[in-house]
C-alpha cells in the first residue's frame, strides 16, 4: 500500500513538473511612441502539455503574486497596470492546449522618455503543493518612448499647465499625472489639435466605445459577424439602419481626414479596416474591396490579415466582393 501511495505521489509530481506553460507578451501598438501615447500589449498563458495544470489565478488580480512584469530589471505587479477584461485571473486550472489572454496598458507606467525592456513572468514556486511549479518568462518586448514634438508638444504642455488648476479644484479623480490630463482633454484634442497623435487615440477610443470592447478585438469580432451586419444593412426604411449609415459616413470622413494628415499613426491599418466595414454597411462594396486589398498587401499584422480574409470570404458568399484584383492568399 505504501509503495502504491509513493508511486502515485511520484506520478503526480512528475505530471506537475513536466507541464509546459508558454507565456507570451505581444505588442499591439507601435514599438516607438511619444510620452503619454497608449502602449497596448496582450498577455498570453498557454498550457502546452498533455495534462491539466493548476495555476491558481485568483478571482481578482489584486490578490496575485504569481504573474508580474519585469521592466528594465524592475518587478511590477499587474494590478497597477491591468486594463480590460480580468477574467483570465479567475482560473485555477488550464486544460491541455488551453490558451488564456488578457490585454495590458502601460501608458502610466512608462512615463519617461527612453528605451524599455519588458518581460511577462509567471512564477509558480510561491504556490503550494499540486500547483504548477517553476518560473516561466516571455520573450522580451522593447518599446522606445520619445519626447513629443510639434503639435504633440503643444498638447503635452497645455495638459501640464492644467495640473495645478485641476489639483486646486480637487476633482474626484486623481489628476496629478499629465497623461491622465491628456485623456480628459479628448474633446479639446479633436477640436483644436485634430492632427495630433493624441487625437488619433481619441478616435480609437470612440470606435472602442461604439463596439463595446477593445478596438482591435471589436473589429475582429465584426469580421466574424459580418453576415449579420450585411443582412441588417439591407433593411429598407429602417430608422436605426439609416442612422447607422449616416454615422458610418461621418466616421469614414473623420478617419480618412485624420489618416491623410497622420499616415504614420500606430493603428493606421486598423483604422483603414474600420472604414472598409462602414463602406460595406453603407452598400459601398467596391470601395470596401479596394481598401481591404490595399491593407492586405501592405500589412504585416497576421491578425488583421486573418480578419480581412474572413471579410472577403463573407462578401464572396453573398456575391458582394466587387474587386477586380486577385483574391489575396494567406
Please give the full DSSP string across 196-249, using - where no structure is assigned.
SHHHHHHHHHHHHHHHTS-HHHHHHHHHHTHHHHHHHHT-TT-HHHHHHHHHHH
CA distance 217 to 275: 16
Give the tens place of pLDDT for each residue, 186-237.
989 999 999 999 999 999 999 998 888 889 989 999 999 999 999 999 998 8
The burial of 15, by beta-carbon neighbours within 10 Å (0-12 exposed, 13-18 middle, 19 or more buried), is given as middle
274/252 Cα distance (integer angstroms): 8
* Cell digits of residue 143: 518599446
What pLDDT sits at residue 53? 81
Domain boundaries, the chain: 21-146, 185-317
Strand runs labelled E in the chain: 21-27, 32-34, 40-47, 53-54, 67-71, 74-77, 93-94, 99-105, 114-123, 135-137, 141-146
pLDDT for the residue numbered 171:
47
What parts of the chain have a pLDDT lower than 50? 2-18, 60-62, 83-89, 166-176
For the domain spanning 21-146, the CATH number is 2.60.40.10
Q: Cα(first)–Cα(last) distance of the chain, in Å?
A: 58
CB–CB of 230/320 below 8 Å?
yes
What confidence score (pLDDT) does residue 127 get? 76
pLDDT value of residue 15: 38
Name the percent of the chain in helix, strand, coil, to the closest 5: 50, 20, 35
Cell numbers standing for residue 215: 478596438
pLDDT of residue 60: 47
Amino acid at each position: 500500500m505504501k509503495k502504491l501511495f509513493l508511486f502515485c505521489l511520484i506520478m503526480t509530481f512528475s505530471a506537475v513538473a513536466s507541464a509546459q506553460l508558454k507565456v507570451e507578451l505581444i505588442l499591439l501598438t507601435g514599438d516607438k511612441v511619444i510620452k503619454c501615447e497608449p502602449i497596448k500589449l496582450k498577455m498570453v498563458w498557454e498550457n502546452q502539455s498533455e495534462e491539466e495544470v493548476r495555476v491558481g489565478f485568483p478571482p481578482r488580480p489584486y490578490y496575485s503574486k504569481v504573474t508580474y512584469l519585469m521592466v528594465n530589471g524592475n518587478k511590477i505587479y499587474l494590478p497597477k497596470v491591468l486594463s480590460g477584461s480580468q477574467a483570465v485571473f479567475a482560473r485555477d486550472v488550464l486544460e491541455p492546449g488551453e490558451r488564456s489572454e488578457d490585454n495590458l496598458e502601460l501608458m502610466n507606467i512608462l512615463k519617461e522618455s527612453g528605451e524599455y525592456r519588458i518581460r511577462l513572468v509567471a512564477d509558480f514556486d510561491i504556490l503550494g503543493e499540486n500547483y504548477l511549479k517553476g518560473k516561466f518568462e516571455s520573450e522580451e518586448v522593447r518599446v522606445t518612448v520619445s519626447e513629443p514634438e510639434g503639435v504633440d508638444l503643444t498638447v503635452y504642455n497645455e495638459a501640464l499647465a492644467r495640473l495645478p488648476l485641476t489639483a486646486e479644484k480637487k476633482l474626484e479623480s486623481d489628476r496629478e499625472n499629465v497623461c491622465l490630463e491628456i485623456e480628459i482633454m479628448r474633446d479639446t484634442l479633436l477640436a483644436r489639435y485634430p492632427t495630433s497623435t493624441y487625437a488619433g487615440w481619441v478616435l480609437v477610443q470612440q470606435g472602442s466605445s461604439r463596439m463595446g470592447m477593445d478596438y482591435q478585438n471589436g473589429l475582429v469580432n465584426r469580421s466574424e459577424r459580418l453576415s449579420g451586419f450585411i443582412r441588417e444593412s439591407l433593411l429598407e426604411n429602417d430608422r436605426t439602419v439609416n442612422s447607422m449609415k449616416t454615422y458610418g459616413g461621418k466616421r469614414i470622413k473623420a478617419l480618412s481626414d485624420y489618416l491623410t494628415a497622420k499616415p504614420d499613426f500606430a493603428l493606421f491599418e486598423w483604422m483603414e479596416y474600420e472604414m472598409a466595414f462602414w463602406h460595406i454597411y453603407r452598400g459601398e462594396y467596391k470601395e470596401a474591396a479596394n481598401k481591404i486589398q490595399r491593407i492586405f498587401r501592405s500589412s504585416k499584422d497576421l491578425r488583421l490579415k486573418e480578419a480581412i480574409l474572413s471579410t472577403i470570404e463573407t462578401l464572396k458568399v453573398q456575391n458582394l466582393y466587387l474587386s477586380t484584383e486577385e483574391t489575396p492568399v494567406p
